[in-house]
Amino acid sequence: MMKRLKKLVLTSVLAICMMIATAVTAFAHREVKTYNVSVSGHRAEDTGRAIKYHNGKQDYGKFRIALDSSSVKGNITLKVRMENSDHASRGSGKVTEPNTATINNSGTKGYYYHLNLIRENILGGSTVVTGTWSPDQPH
């Protein structure tokens, strides 16, 4: 009887542990994408899509972009816009080189989003920019 009870308790504890682990993993998950695109001031460039794990209004739901480097002299500013698959805006802001920006948005978890990058200055020519971005914030 005791043996059976022990087995039952052990199995239950294991099951609970697994459930918590799964929940924590799902909660902490976020997709991080790298980008290496040529941006100019007259046409927005797509960074490639990523899935969103948190709603925009949640604490971890802000989207994050790191602009590591560009191929021009001086630290440029990019206008950033998070868009859904229909290219409708779900939040926008700016990021300067070589910094990171965390921007509010109205994206919904479970959907794919991408960023549109464009230079602030149309007469600055095009430049290759590199960095990372994620539709969610790190924990």
Binding of residue 75 to other proteins (CB under 8 A): yes
Distance CA 72, CA 78 (A): 13
Binding of residue 26 to other proteins (CB under 8 A): no
- How far is CA 116 from each of CA 10, 46, 72, 79, rounded to the nearest angstrom? 51, 5, 19, 8
The single residue among 61, 107, 131, 135 that binds other proteins, judged by CB under 8 A, is 107
Binding of residue 41 to other proteins (CB under 8 A): yes
Under 8 Å between Cβ of 137 and 32? no
Binding of residue 120 to other proteins (CB under 8 A): yes
Under 8 Å between Cβ of 25 and 85? no
Binding of residue 100 to other proteins (CB under 8 A): no
Amino acid at 127: T
Under 8 Å between Cβ of 32 and 94? no
Binding of residue 128 to other proteins (CB under 8 A): no
Q: Which of residues 77-96 bind other proteins (CB under 8 A)?
A: 77, 79, 81, 84-86, 88-94, 96
Residues that bind other proteins (CB under 8 A): 41-42, 72-77, 79, 81, 84-86, 88-94, 96-97, 99, 104, 106-108, 111, 119-126
